[in-house]
Amino acid sequence: MSEKVKFRLEYEIRSSAKILYSFISESNGLSEWFADKVKINEQIFTFIWDDGEEQKAKLLSLKENKSVKFHWIDDEPYTYFELEIIKDELTNDVALVVTDFASQENLKDRQAIWNVQIESLLSVIGA
């Protein structure tokens, strides 16, 4: 298996940072767009999808109304995925920056998955 590379994607979100933060950091918010069900036990988030697939991620950091950072338990130790809210102070525009890792051969697929996930998020938020 090849070494994973870091990539970043940025999405404009028509929402307040506070509302967006609840969708990226809380179990009920994440279960609206990221997974079908999300359970939290201490620092471990369990993401469950309708097909029965389950993945666990450790919460690495949480910055209120700013970002949330996870590490998939079964992934390479140096990898993580981060959802970061960026607010332009002049225009008040809000963007969500996704940082993730993928092998070079899976990079386009992983980016496409994020595009679909963020479309779902936009639909839920009504942005």
Domains of the chain, earliest start first: 4-125 (3.30.530.20)
What's the pTM value of the predicted model, to 2 decimals? 0.92
Cβ proximity of 96 and 66 under 8 Å: no
pLDDT band at residue 45 using 50, 70 and 90 as cut-offs: very high
- If residue 103 lies in a helix (H) or strand (E), which one and from where to where? strand 94-103
Residue 127, pLDDT > 70, answer no
Contacts of 54 (CB under 8 A, 6+ apart): 46, 47, 48
- Tens digit of each residue's pLDDT (9 = 90 or more) over 71-117: 999 999 999 999 999 998 888 899 999 999 999 999 999 999 999 99
Residue 33, pLDDT > 90, answer yes
- C-alpha 80/C-alpha 36 separation (Å) is 21
Q: Exposed (0-12), middle (13-18) or buried (19+): which is 46, by Cβ within 10 Å?
A: middle
Question: Rounded to the nearest 10 degrees, how much is the dihedral formed by the CA atoms of 50, 116, 13, 61?
Answer: 60
Cβ proximity of 13 and 120 under 8 Å: no
